[in-house]
Structure 1
Amino acid sequence: MVKQLSWKVGGQQGEGIESTGEIFSIALNRLGYYLYGYRHFSSRIKGGHTNNKIRVSTTQVRSISDDLDILVAFDQETIDVNFHELRDGGIVIADAKFNPTIPENTAVTLYSVPFTEIATELGTSLMKNMVAVGASSAVLDLDIEVFQEMVQEIFGRKGQQVVDKNMEAIRQGSEFIKQQLGDNVQTMKLEKADGKKRLFMIGNDAIALGAVTAGSRFMPAYPITPASEIMEYLIKKLPALGGTVIQTEDEIAACTMAIGANYAGVRALTASAGPGLSLMMEAIGLAGITETPVVIIDTQRGGPSTGLPTKQEQSDLMAMIYGTHGEIPKIVMAPSTVQEAFYDTVEAFNLAEEYQCPVILLTDLQLSLGKQTVEPLEYDKVEIRRGKLELNPQLPEIENKGYFKRYEVTEDGVSPRVVPGVPNGIHHVTGVEHDETGKPSEAPLNRRAQMDKRLRKTQNINFKTPVHKDAKHEEADLLIVGFNSTRGAIEEAMVLLENEGLKVNHAHVRLIHPFPTDEILPLVQSAKKVAVVENNATGQLANIMKMNVGHAEKISNVLKYDGNPFLPHELYSKCKELF
C-alpha cells in the first residue's frame, strides 16, 4: 500500500476531462484523503490538449507532484505529452479506440481499455469518462460504491435510469481491468484515509465565499480567465441574500461601479486578471483620492497583453503596487492557500474600510483554479470591522450651511466617513485635489496636508500575519522567500534540502504592500543566502525586498516563467545550485 500517489487524466477539451477528474477526486476527498489538483488547459472553449493532475495523500499536500503514477488517456497525444512524468512502475490506462502505444523498453504498464466501446453499448459514448473512472478504481483497488453518491448528485436530476447507466459504466470499466487482465493487473492500493470530512475547493470559490461572509452583496465584473469563477459563484449565491452581480461592459465600468457602491455604504468587490486590472488603474486612483474603500481581486496569469491566459505566472506584482498614476495609499495582499484566500478576503474588506483605500487581493492561476483539500472553515473567527464609517450618526448641525469635513486632516490619516443622505453629512466628492470638505483646492499647503494625510494612513497596517514563517533556525544556510501558490513546492523542497544537512528557513509574504520589513529583515540578516522564488522573468518580489530590506548581495532569483508551476524537486535543484 502507498501513502500517496498522483493520477492524471488527459484528452481533448470538451471530452469530459474535467468531470472525470471531479468525480474521481471528490469521491476520494469524501473518503478523507487530502488532495491537490491542477488543470492544464488551452485558451479555447473546445479542442486542444487538456489534463487534470490530482495528487492523493493521507497527509496534507499543497503542490503538484513531480512524477506521475497513473495516466488515464483519451487520445495518443495525452500519452505523448505526459509520458515523461510517469515513474518506473507507473500505469497508463488508455482508450482502446485509438490503439494506444507507449515507448518501448520502459518500466511502465499499458492497459488498453475500450472506454468508448463500453460506453456506446450502454447508450452513449459520452459515458466513456465513467468507464475510465471505473478502470482507475480497479487499479487503486477501490470499491466502486465510493462513486455512487457523486454520480447520484451529478445525474440525479436527469432521472434514476441515467444514474444507473453511469454506475454501470463505472462497474464495467472496473470489471474489464479485473476480468480481462486477471492476476496480472497491477494495483496501487492507498493506505486507508482518516475518513474526516473536509472541504475540497478552488481558490476562486474560497474568495467568493469569503466575500459573502464579509457581508459583500454586490459584484460588478467582466468575465476573464482565471477570475470568472468568483463571479459565477456569486451569481448563484448573492440573490438569495439580497445582493446581485452585474456583468458590466468592461473592467472600467466594473471598478467604478464597485467604487460607487462602496461610497454608498455597500461592501462591493470586483475581480479580474492582468489585462482587466490595467483598465482599472485610473479608477483605482479615483478610489485613492476620494478615500473610498474598494476590494479588487487580481488573479494573475501569463502576460503581457493576452499572453498566456490559461497558464501560471506571477508578474503583476509591480503593477499592483505602482500601476496607478500619482501616489495613493493602497494595500496589496497575497494569500498562499485556499484556506488563507477565504480569511484574507474577509480581512480585505475590513482593511479597505478601516483605512478607506483600495485593497488588492493578489492570487495566481495555480491558486485561483487549483483545487485542494481545506480543513473546515472556522466562521466564529470572522469579524467585521467598518472603521470610521458612521451608518446612523447623529451629526451636529453645521454653522452657516457649511459642509461636513469628510476629508478632515487627522493624526492617523483616516477621516470620518458617512454615506450619502445622512443629515448634516453633505460634502463634495471629486477626483481633483480638495480641501477637508471636498471642495476643489489647488492651494499648496492644502495639497501637502491632504497628500500627507492619505499616505499616513497605511504606515501601520493592522494585519495579523503579514508573513507566514517557518523559521526553525536562528542562523540559516538558506532563507527561501515566496508568495501565493509557490508555498507548497517550497515546503517540500525545504524537507529535501534539510535532509542533506542544510539549515533552511522559509518566509511566505502575505502582505505585499506596505512591505512587512520588520518581519522579513531579521530573517534575511540571519541567513547566509536568500532565494526568492517567483513565477516571473524579472524577479519582482526580490526587487521589492531589495528596496525595503537591502542585503542585495545575499538575494538570488529562482525564477520560472514558462507557464507552468514550480515542482518540488525542480525547486530543490535550483536552490542546491546556490551552494
Structure 2
Amino acid sequence: MLDQLSWKVGGQQGEGIESTGAVLATALNRHGYFIYGYRHFSSRIKGGHTNYKIRIATKQRLANADYLDILIAFDQETIDFNAHELRDGGVLIADAKFNPVAPEGKNIRFFAAPLTQIAEDNGSAIMRTMVTVGASAAVLGINPDTFLSVIQDRFLRKGENVVKANMDALQAGMKYINDQGIDLSDLQLAAGDGKERLFLTGNDACGFGSLAAGVRLMPAYPITPASDIMEYLIKKLPDVGGHVLQTEDEIAALTMCIGSSFGGSRVCTSTSGPGLSLMMEAIGLSGITETPLVIFDTQRGGPSTGMPTKHEQSDMYAALWGTHGEIPKIVLSPSNAEECFYMTADAFNYADKYQVPTIVLTDLALSLADQTVEPFDHSKITIDRGRLATAEELAATPEGELFKRYQFAEDGISPRVFPGSKGGIHHVTGVEHNEVGRPIEDAGIRTKMMDKRLGKLAGLELPNSFSFDGDDDYELLLIGVGSTAGLIAEAMERLHAEGQKVAHLHIKALSPFPIASVQSYVERAKKILVIENNATGQLANIMRFNGIKGDFNSQVKYDGNPFVPSEIYNYIKEMN
C-alpha cells in the first residue's frame, strides 16, 4: 500500500473543480490523512483552465508532488495540459461526454467514464462532483462511508433526500470503476491514523490568528489572493461584536486602521502587491505617529496587475523599503498555515510593543493552499498591548500642558495613551514633531526624533526569526522564505538518503533581520543556495544588504508556479 498519492482534477473554471477536490480532501483529512491541496486557476470568474492538485499522505507534506498517480479530466484541455505529470502506471479518468483522446506514449490506465451521464441518471448533472469523488474512491480503495460526514455538512440543510441523492451519485461513480474489472490494488492507500486535525489555508489561519489576538475591526478592500482573510473575518467577527468594513480602496482601508488603532482597537487589513503600493503613504503615517498597525500582504505575480492568481515572492523589497522616508517596520514571513496562526498573534503584540507598522508577508501558495494542521494550542496566545501610559504618568502631566506622547525614552518606546484618558491630551500629526506632537522643524529635535524611532529595532532579533534543520556538520546550506519550506525539506530528504551533508535555514523575520544568527550558519557552509520565487533574488540581496557575508548561489523561479521538490533537488545535483 502507498504512504502517499497525488491526485488532480481539471476542467473549465466554474465547472465544480474546487468543490470536487474539496470533498475528497476534506473527507480524507477527517480520516487521519495529511493533505496538501493547491489550486491552479484563472483570473476569470468563469472559463479558462483550472485544476486542483491534492497530495494525500500518511505524514505531513507541505508541497505538491512531482508527479500524478490519478488525473480526472472534465475536458480535453486538461489531458493536454496535465497528462505529462502522470507517472508510469497512473490512472486517467476522463468524462466520456467530450470524447476524450488518451495521451500518446503514456503507459497508463485510461477510463473514458460517463461521469456526466451517471450524474444525470442520478438526478442532475450538477452531481458530477460526487460521481467523480466516487470514481476516485474506487481507485483508492476507500469506503464510501468515509465521505458521509462531508456530504452531510454540505447538504443536510437541504434535507435528507439531497444527502441521499449525493451519496447515491458517489456510489454510482464507484460502481462504474469497479465494474471495469481493472486491477487497481497498487494505488490503494495505507490507512490514515484517524486523528482529528484542522484543514485550512494560510489565509484562514491568518484570520483565525487575528481573532485570537483580539482583533475586532478589519477595514479592507478585496484583492486576490488576500480576500479570503476578509471573508473569514466577515463570518467570525460579528460573533464577538466585531466588524469587517469593505472600503472604497486600500488607501481608505489603511487610514481607517490608523484611526482605529489610535483609538485603542486592535485592527488589521489585508492586501496584495498592488494594494500594498497604494498603502505606502499611510504606512509612513503609521510610522511617524508611532501607531501600531498590522497588514497582511499575500504576494502574487507582478508588476502592476501582473498575474493575480499566480504565485510569486516579489514584494519583499516593497514590504521593507517601499515607504518614502525612513521608519522602523517589522516584516514577518510564516512558512506554513500553523505558523500563520501563531505569527499573526505575535504580529499584533510586536506592533503594540514597538509601536510600528507590522507586515505579515505570505505568498499565494501559502495563502491559498489547503493544509492539514495540528489543532492550535490557544494557551500559547498572549495579548501584550505594549507601553501604555500608567495612571501615575498621566496624573503627573502639569495642568495646562500636553502629554509627552513622543517622549525621548531610552529604548525609543514612548508611553502610548488612548483618547479620553485624563492627562493624555497631545497633538498627532504626519509632520515632524516634538515630544507632545506639535509640528517642529528644529534640526536637533528632528535628528533626535528620527534616532528615537529608528532605534526601537536596532540590533533586535525577534524570537523565532528563523528555523534550522539538518546535519550539524553540513557542507551545503539551503536558505528559503515563505512557502518554499516544505519543498526544501523534501529535497533534503533525497540528499540525506544519498549521504550528503546538508542543512536548511528558513528566514521568518525579514525585519528586523536576524543578522548575527544567519551569519553564524552561513559562515559554516561550503556551498549556499538561496531558493525563492522571484526574478532578482530578493532574499539573497536582502541578506547582502544586512551585511551577511557569503558566496550565495540563487535558484529563482518566476513563471507563476511554485517549485516542485525535484526542481530543487536537480538544481543541487547540477551545482555539485
Q: So what's the TM-score if we normalise by structure 2?
A: 0.98
Counterpart AA for 2:8:
K
Superposition CA RMSD, Å: 1.2
Q: What is the rounded CA distance, in whole Å, between the counterparts of 1:384 and 1:223 in structure 2?
A: 28
- 1:405-484 correspondence runs (5 A): 405-461=404-460, 463-474=462-473, 476-484=474-482
- 1:116-265 correspondence runs (5 A): 116-179=116-179, 181-185=180-184, 188-265=187-264
Residue 31 of structure 1 corresponds to 31
Q: What is the rounded CA distance, in whole Å, between the counterparts of 2:569 and 2:392 in structure 1?
A: 57
Contact 2:221 2:271 in 1 (8 A): yes
Deviations 1:262-312 (A, max 9, x none): 111100000000000000000000000000000000000000000010001
Q: What percent of counterpart residues are identical? A: 56
Q: After TM superposition, give the deviation of residue 185 of structure 1 in Å.
A: 4.8
Residue 531 of structure 2 corresponds to 533
Q: What is the rounded CA distance, in whole Å, between the counterparts of 1:110 and 1:393 in structure 2?
A: 78
Q: Which moved more, 1:496-505 or 1:519-528?
A: 496-505
Contact 1:520 1:549 in 2 (8 A): no
Q: After TM superposition, give the deviation of residue 367 of structure 1 in Å.
A: 0.2
Contact 2:334 2:508 in 1 (8 A): yes
Could you tell me which runs of 5 or more consecutive residues in structure 2 were left unpaired when the two chains were aligned. none
Deviations 1:546-572 (A, max 9, x none): 1224334x1011100000001101111
Question: Structure 1 residue aligned with 2:504, among 492, 495, 506?
Answer: 506
Q: What is the rounded CA distance, in whole Å, between the counterparts of 2:21 and 2:195 in structure 1?
A: 21
SS class of match (1:508): strand
Deviations 1:96-131 (A, max 9, x none): 111112223421111121111111122211111110
Q: Which moved more, 1:455-464 or 1:220-229?
A: 455-464
Q: Which moved more, 1:158-167 or 1:284-293?
A: 158-167
Contact 2:519 2:549 in 1 (8 A): no
Counterpart AA for 1:23:
V
Deviations 1:12-59 (A, max 9, x none): 111111000010001000110001110000001111110000000001
Cα distance, 1:22–1:393 mapped onto 2, change above 3 Å: farther
Contact 1:42 1:310 in 2 (8 A): yes
Residue 484 of structure 2 corresponds to 486
Residue 287 of structure 2 corresponds to 288
Q: After TM superposition, give the deviation of residue 160 of structure 1 in Å.
A: 1.4
Contact 2:331 2:510 in 1 (8 A): yes
Counterpart AA for 2:132:
A
Q: After TM superposition, give the deviation of residue 400 of structure 1 in Å.
A: 4.7
Counterpart AA for 1:98:
F
Residue 65 of structure 2 corresponds to 65
Residue 567 of structure 1 corresponds to 564
**Which 4+ runs in 1 deviate beyond 3 A?**
183-187, 390-394
Counterpart AA for 2:167:
M
Check if 1:98 corresponds to 2:98.
Answer: yes
Contact 1:23 1:150 in 2 (8 A): yes
Aligned length: 576
Check if 1:555 corresponds to 2:552.
Answer: yes
Q: What is the rounded CA distance, in whole Å, between the counterparts of 1:343 and 1:139 in structure 2?
A: 38
Could you tell me which runs of 5 or more consecutive residues in structure 1 were left unpaired when the two chains were aligned. none
Q: After TM superposition, give the deviation of residue 503 of structure 1 in Å.
A: 1.0
Residue 576 of structure 1 corresponds to 573
Q: What is the rounded CA distance, in whole Å, between the counterparts of 2:396 and 2:481 in structure 1?
A: 50
Q: After TM superposition, give the deviation of residue 186 of structure 1 in Å.
A: 5.5
Q: What is the rounded CA distance, in whole Å, between the counterparts of 2:337 and 2:239 in structure 1?
A: 24
- 1:104-119 correspondence runs (5 A): 104-119=104-119
Q: What is the rounded CA distance, in whole Å, between the counterparts of 1:526 and 1:120 in structure 2?
A: 64
SS class of match (1:110): strand
SS class of match (2:526): strand
Deviations 1:407-433 (A, max 9, x none): 000111100000011001000000000
Q: So what's the TM-score if we normalise by structure 1?
A: 0.98
Cα distance, 1:392–1:136 mapped onto 2, change above 3 Å: farther
Cα distance, 1:537–1:145 mapped onto 2, change above 3 Å: same
Residue 355 of structure 1 corresponds to 354
Residue 312 of structure 2 corresponds to 313
